[in-house]
Amino acid sequence: MTIVLVHGNPETAAIWDDLVPHLRSGEVVRLSPPGFGSPIPAGFACTTDGYRDWLAGELTRLPQPIDLIGHDWGGGHVVRIAMERPDLIRSWSSDILGCFDRDYVWHDLAQVWQTEQVGEQALAEMASVSGESRIERFMSLGMTPAIAARVVAGANEGLGRAILTLYRSAAQPVMRDLGRGLHNAAAKPGLAVIATEDGYCGGEKLARRSAERAGAKVAILNAGHWWMCQQPKQAADAINAFVVSLS
């Protein structure tokens, strides 16, 4: 049995550091999407379709059965696999199911990145901020000091391009249209992780509605966007219970 963890934006695999020790599995593999803590291969399209295909390719090289878990945009890629390539996994978990709901509206920063020129300017300003300030910002949103420092240190050169291309490829109505296929995710057992204080994913109502359409169980965490940093044991307990239920 292999647990595969996929992170999102603007992160690295370090976000899982405190969660992994609490997971009960034969093997835990962390995958870093191109541009988000790993290099962007030549010719790679940093679009939602491109990342779906990248993840599918990575999964074919890992030992089965696979329990696939994603956070933020990693959770988006996981849902794409659950809907379109369920043959590659035993189960799936995601914390952004609400983003696939018909009523989801992209958060303010995403809309900035999706806007030509404005997005480029915002990323230029972000790049000019000191590492210390970025660490403090991540800490204010729930990361531990150690994890925030690792995430900042692991940011790679292609991050800005990956952010702009990915978010623009998923501007509405793209996510809404993709969400029409949520029922297909019911082909394999799913878990909707709902962090009640996460303001980026549409809230609990949309997440529960999407979970129902996808036939997924629900795990509630009273935490923010980086729940795996704020409540690593509680989150791992929920994941472990879900994985055990599959046996």
Average pLDDT taken over every residue of the chain: 96
pLDDT of 236 reads: 98
Please tell me the predicted confidence (pLDDT) of residue 126: 86
Percent of the chain clearing pLDDT 90 (strictly above): 95
Among candidate residues 19, 144, 138, the one with its CA nearest the CA of residue 71: 19
Would you state the pLDDT for residue 157?
82
Q: Cα–Cα distance between 119 and 74 in angstroms, integer?
A: 21
3-class SS shares of the chain: helix, strand, coil, % to 5:
50, 15, 35
Token digits of residue 108: 């303010």
pLDDT of residue 127: 86
For the chain, how many residues are written? 247
Cis ω for the linkage preceding 86 (within 30 of 0): no
Q: How confident is the model at residue 81 (pLDDT cuts 50, 70, 90)?
A: very high
Alpha-carbon span 240 to 182, nearest angstrom: 24
Complete domains list, the chain, with CATH:
2-245 (3.40.50.1820)
Q: What is the pLDDT of residue 179?
A: 98
Confidence check: pLDDT of 25 > 80: no
Name beta bridge partners: 66. 2
Whether pTM exceeds 0.85:
yes
Measure Cα distances from 138 to 66, 167, 198 in Å: 30, 20, 14
Distance separating alpha carbons of residues 15 and 243, to the nearest angstrom:
21
Q: What confidence tier does 156 reach under pLDDT thresholds 50, 70, 90?
A: confident
Confidence of residue 1 (pLDDT cuts 50, 70, 90): confident
pLDDT tens column, 34-61: 999 999 999 999 999 999 999 999 999 9
Assess contact for 71 and 17: CB atoms under 8 A. no
pLDDT (average), residues 196-222: 97
Q: Is the pLDDT of residue 26 over 90?
A: no
User: Rg of the Cα trace of the chain?
Assistant: 17
**Matching residue, tokens 């009273």:** 222
